[in-house]
Amino acid sequence: MNERRAVTAILVPFAVALAASLGVRAAGAGADNARQIVEEAQKRTDAKSQRYEGLLQVFDAKGKVTDKRWTFERLGSHGQSKAVLRFTAPAEVKGVALLVVNHPDRASDQWMWTPAIERDRRIALQDRATRFFGTDFSFEDLEERDVDQYEYTLAGDDAVDGAACWKIQSTPRQSKSSQYTRSIVWIRKDNYAFARIENYSKNDMVRRLDYSDIRSVQGIWTARQLEMADLKRGSRTRLALDKLEYNVPLKDEDFTLQAIRRQ
Amino acid sequence: MIWRACLPLFAAALLSPPPAAAQALTQRGFADGGLFLFPQDAPSDRTRAVGDLRVRDEVFFKPSGWLQFAAGVDFRANSHDQVDDRWRLDVSDRGARRPRLALRRLSATFTRGPVTIDAGKQFIRWGKADVVTPTDRFAPRDFLDVIDTEFLPVAGVRAVAQAGADTFEAVWLPRFTPSRAPLLDQRWTVVPAAAASVPLVDGGATLPDGSQTGVRWSRVADRVEFSLSFFDGFNNLPTVTVFPVPSPSGAGPIVAVARNYPAIRTYGADAAVPTRLFTIKAEAAYFTSRQSGAAAAADNYVLYVVQVERQTGEWVFAGGYAGEAVTARRSTLTFAPDRGLTRAIVAHASYTIGPTRTIAFEGAVRQNADGVYAKAEYSQARGQHWRATIGGAAIAGRESDFLGQYRRNSHVRASLRYSF
C-alpha cells in the first residue's frame, strides 16, 4: 500500500470514525497546497486500530435532548479500515450494530444488525444520506474514504475558535457516490487538526461538523468532542469520546457480518 | 448433551483472559404490557378486550474472544387463556399455548478465524425480503395473532464459514419446532358459517421425530448480493385433518382438528440489487413434498417475492408483490399464512418524526381485492427506558379469502414497554 493510499480521506463524509481519529502528532511540515495539507493531516492520524465509547446527545429543533451511547472499534487505517459501531443505550436499542467496510477506491459497504428481528440489512448507497438511528450523522458520515476520491482546492486562510486554519474545498471525484457535492474543511495550522467541516448539497450547506476538546492521545491529537448540525432540520448531535485508545489489539474476524450478530 | 460438551470449553474460556475490547457481560430486556380491543364479536370468540404481559431478559457472556454464551427467558401472562397456566420453564416451546416461562435462548458461540459455530437454542433467519420470506425455513412463528406475529427460537447447531465474499452456512436441528397456530376457540381460527354450530376440539399435533438440515451459500459482491439455499425438513406450518369424535355427553357431533407437519424440501434463492433509485430484493423457494405419490401430504409450489426498498429523508419504504405458483395440488387443509399473503401487493413504511417518535404503516392487498389489511402504529419513547405505542389494524374482504376471513378481527392496540 503506497503512502498516498494510506493517507485516507476525511473529507466529505468526515466520519465520526475518522473524525475521532483526526489529530496531529506535531505541528510543522510546511505544506503549501491543499492536497498536501490533507495528506499530512491524515498521515499524522494513522493508527492500527482505535476504540472508544461514545456518548451522543441529540438536540432537536426545540432543544429537547435525547441521549444515546455506542461503542466504536476500528481496525486498520482510513480507507483500508473496517469498523463496528454498537449501541449500548438506551436499553431498547442495545445491541443494534453497524459494520462499515471501507474501500480505498469507492464508497464503503455497510450492514446494520437489528437484534429485535435477528437480521442484518445492507445499507444501499442511495440510502446513505439517511440519518443514522435518529442522530444527525448520516450513514455516509460514518465511513472513511481515501484521499484520492476527492479533488482539493485551497480556499484561503481563516480562524476557528481563535486558531489559524487553512480553508480547503473538497469535491468528490465520483459525484454520484456522495450526498455532498462539496465540502469546506478547516485544518489548524499549528497541529494539522481538523477544526470544522461544512458539507454542501449544491449551493446549500446541509451539515456542519465542529471539532473541539482536542487532546493528544497516545501521541495522536484527537478531537474528544464533535458536534454535527443538521442545518435543514435545525437539530444537532454532540458526540463525546470516552475511553479512547489507539493501537489496541483487535482481530479481523471481529469485523464481519457474523461478528456483529454476536451481542 | 450440547451443554455437557460445552462445559470443558466454558472452563477453558474462564481461565483465558477476556477480550480487552468487549464487555464480558451484557444484558438486555423489557417488560411489555399490551391491550387489544376488538370492536366486533367473532363467531367463535366474543371476547373483545385482551390484555397481555411479556417480560424478557437476555444475558450474553463473553468469557473469551472465541467463545460467547447467550441465555434468555420470556415470562408471559394473558387475560384470554393464550398462556399455559403451568409454572415451569418450557425448554422446547412446542405447545399450542404460549408457555408461562419459556427458554428463549441458550446457546454457545465458538469463533475460530472465519468459522463460527452456534450451538443451542437460537434464532436462525434466512432470506432478504420483508413481509413474506419463502427461504426463511428455520424461523417458526407464533401465530396466535395472525397479523402480529413473533419468531420462535429453534434448537440446533449452525456453522458458518466465511471465505472472502462467500459465506457457507450449514444448519442441523435435531428437534422440530412448529409454528404456533391460532387457538381453536379464539377469533383467529375462523370456522365457515355452515359449520359454526359444530363444536371443535383440539385433536392435538403430531410432531415429527426426524432432524432437519439446511445449507446456504451467500455471496456479497459490489453490485449484488445473493444466496442459494436448500432445506430438508418439515414445514413448520401444519396441514390440518378434521375427524368426528364421540361427544362426552352424547349430544350432537363434535369435530376434532389435528395438526400434522409434512416432510418437505425447499430449494431457495434470494438476491438484493441496489440501483440508483431503489434496492430491488427478490426471494423465491420451491417447496416440494418429501414423499411421493399417494403418501405425499403437501402441495408442491413456488413462493416468490419481488420488492423495492428505499430510505429517503425520514422515510423507510419497502413494497412489492408476493406470488405463488402451485405445481402439484393435493387436497389438504392447511394453515399457511405465508401462502395466504401471496397473490398480493405487500408494503410497509415508517417515518421517523424525531429522535423519540416514529410512525409505521403496513398493508397487504390481494390482487383480486378479496382481502386487505392495513396496520398503523405510532410510537413514542420517554427517557431512557419507556416507550408507548398505539396502533390498529383494519381487515376487510370475503370470507373465502385468507385475509378476508379475519374481517371481524380489526382492532386497536395500546402497549407500554419498559426496557432495561
Does any CB of chain A come closer than 8 Å to the CB of residue B141? Answer: no
For the cut 70, the answer to whether the pLDDT of residue A175 exceeds it is: no
Does any CB of chain A come closer than 8 Å to the CB of residue B145? Answer: no
Does any CB of chain A come closer than 8 Å to the CB of residue B350? Answer: no
- Read off the pLDDT of residues B155-172 as tens digits, 9 standing for 90 and up: 999 999 999 899 999 999
State how far the Cα of B43 lies from the Cα of B26, in Å rounded to an integer: 47
- Read off the pLDDT of residues B78-136 as tens digits, 9 standing for 90 and up: 999 999 999 999 999 999 999 999 999 999 999 999 999 999 999 999 999 987 899 99
- How high is the pLDDT of residue B405? 95
Does any CB of chain B come closer than 8 Å to the CB of residue A258? Answer: yes
Look at residue B358 and tell me if it is in a domain: yes
pLDDT greater at residue A101 or residue B253: A101
Is the Cβ pair A258, B111 closer than 8 Å? yes
Provide the domain count of chain B: 1
State how far the Cα of B204 lies from the Cα of B407, in Å rounded to an integer: 27
pLDDT greater at residue A18 or residue B399: B399
Look at residue B304 and tell me if it is in a domain: no
Residues B143-164 have a mean pLDDT of 95
Does any CB of chain A come closer than 8 Å to the CB of residue B60? Answer: yes
Residues B137-141 have a mean pLDDT of 97
Is the Cβ pair A67, B116 closer than 8 Å? no
Look at residue B8 and tell me if it is in a domain: no
- How high is the pLDDT of residue A176? 63
Which pairs with CB-CB distance under 8 Å and at least 24 residues apart come from B191-194? B191/B43, B191/B44, B192/B399, B193/B43, B193/B399
Is the Cβ pair A176, B276 closer than 8 Å? yes
State how far the Cα of B69 lies from the Cα of A253, in Å rounded to an integer: 18
- How high is the pLDDT of residue A147? 79
Among the partner-chain residues B125, B274, B417, the one whose CB lies closest to the CB of A125 is B274
Cell of A183: 465540502
For the cut 80, the answer to whether the pLDDT of residue A7 exceeds it is: no
Does any CB of chain B come closer than 8 Å to the CB of residue A244? Answer: no
Position A4 confidence tier, pLDDT thresholds 50, 70, 90: very low
Does any CB of chain A come closer than 8 Å to the CB of residue B252? Answer: no
Is the Cβ pair A90, B381 closer than 8 Å? yes
- How high is the pLDDT of residue B294? 64
Does any CB of chain A come closer than 8 Å to the CB of residue B160? Answer: yes
DSSP B142-203: E-SSTTS-EE--EEEEEEEEEETTEEEEEEEESS--PPBPPPTTSTTS---GGGTTS-EEEE
Identify all chain A residues contacting B167, using CB atoms and an 8 Å cutoff. Answer: 257-258
Look at residue B381 and tell me if it is in a domain: yes
Q: Given the C-alpha cell 469498523, which residue does it identify? A: A83
For the cut 70, the answer to whether the pLDDT of residue A18 exceeds it is: no
- How high is the pLDDT of residue A13? 38
Residue of chain B minimizing CA distance to A50: B21
For the cut 50, the answer to whether the pLDDT of residue A29 exceeds it is: no
* Domain that includes residue B416, residue range: 343-420
Look at residue B93 and tell me if it is in a domain: no
Q: Which of A126, A176, A243 to mutate to test the interface with B (most CBs of B within 10 A)?
A: A126
Asked whether the CA dihedral B405, B409, B410, B413 is positive or negative, the reply is negative
Rounded CA Rg of chain A: 17
DSSP A148-191: GGEEEEEEEEEEETTEEEEEEEEEESSGGG-S-SEEEEEEETTT
- How high is the pLDDT of residue B3? 43
Look at residue B365 and tell me if it is in a domain: yes
- Read off the pLDDT of residues B374-390 as tens digits, 9 standing for 90 and up: 999 999 999 999 999 99
All structural domains of chain A, each given as residue ranges with its CATH number in brackets, are 3-261 (2.50.20.10)
Does any CB of chain A come closer than 8 Å to the CB of residue B380? Answer: no
- Read off the pLDDT of residues A231-249 as tens digits, 9 standing for 90 and up: 999 999 999 999 999 999 9
Look at residue B147 and tell me if it is in a domain: no
Look at residue B366 and tell me if it is in a domain: yes
Nearest Cα of chain B lies from the Cα of A80 at a distance, in angstroms, of 15
What does pTM read for this prediction? Answer: 0.88
Is the Cβ pair A91, B26 closer than 8 Å? no
For the cut 60, the answer to whether the pLDDT of residue B14 exceeds it is: no
% of chain B surpassing 70 pLDDT = 94
Cell of B3: 451443554
From A2-16, B240-254, B312-326, the region with the lowest mean pLDDT: A2-16
- How high is the pLDDT of residue A173? 85
- Read off the pLDDT of residues B265-318 as tens digits, 9 standing for 90 and up: 999 999 999 888 899 999 999 999 988 766 677 899 999 999 999 988 889 999
Residue B177 makes CB contacts below 8 A (sequence gap 6+) with B92, B93, B94, B140, B152, B153, B154, B155, B236
Q: Which residues of A65-87 are buried (b: 16+ CB within 10 A; e: fewer)?
A: ebebbbbbbbbbbbbbbbbbbbb
Does any CB of chain A come closer than 8 Å to the CB of residue B271? Answer: no
- Read off the pLDDT of residues A214-224 as tens digits, 9 standing for 90 and up: 999 999 989 99
- How high is the pLDDT of residue A68? 94
Residues A90-115 have a mean pLDDT of 91
- Read off the pLDDT of residues B190-220 as tens digits, 9 standing for 90 and up: 987 777 778 888 999 999 999 999 999 999 9
State how far the Cα of B289 lies from the Cα of B372, in Å rounded to an integer: 30
What is the phi/psi pair of residue B303, to 5°?
Answer: -105, 135
Is the Cβ pair A258, B116 closer than 8 Å? yes
